[in-house]
Copies of this chain bind each other. A is one copy, B any other.
Amino acid sequence: MEEATSGYKLDQQVGYLLRLAIQRHSSLFQEVVPLGLTPTQFAALVKLAERGACSQNELGRRTAMDVATIKGVVERLRKKGLVEVNSDPNDKRRTMLSIPRSQTKIVPDLLDAGETISKLTLSPLSASEQKTFLRLLSKLS
């Protein structure tokens, strides 16, 4: 009996459990996703496909990424040839992003992989539990 630590158990706290869930998700992600994309890169790319060409800041907002974070993500996607970067002629502040025409064909594969990953992540839950979980999780975002 080193410490009583009252009734608070770290292993039962939301924050800690969320962290563990993310760890498991990332691990599954890595096994399934093509092109060695990270979850963040995947999110940016899929959102860019969903939204169509847009500015770097806007993509960051739509994927909940900091300006500094989205910059790095875009740079790495650009190096992989998955994102095209052009300056907006109508607004010199803006950097316009788009998926090169030659790469649009990979988008369906990404979406398929995304679905598989979500299914795998939720697989410890029954179908109705999955629905409940997603509904409640949405409220915590």
Q: Spell out A's residues near B (CB within 8 Å).
A: 2-3, 5-6, 8-10, 12-26, 29, 39, 43, 46-47, 49-53, 63-64, 104, 107-108, 111, 114-115, 117-118, 121-122, 124-125, 129, 132-134, 136-141
Contacts and interface: CB of A to CB of B under 8 A. Distances in A.
A128 to B, nearest CB: 11
A23, A115, A121, A139: which has the most chain B beta carbons within 10 Å? A139
A39 B133 CA distance: 23
Contact of A136 (B16, B52, B63, B125): B125
Given A8-B115, A14-B137, A24-B140, 19 more contacts: A3-B107, A8-B114, A10-B46, A12-B138, A13-B114, A13-B118, A14-B133, A15-B25, A15-B29, A16-B43, A18-B21, A21-B141, A23-B64, A24-B141, A122-B140, A125-B140, A129-B136, A133-B140, A136-B136
B49 A5 contact: yes
A64 B20 contact: yes
Contacts of A124: 139-140
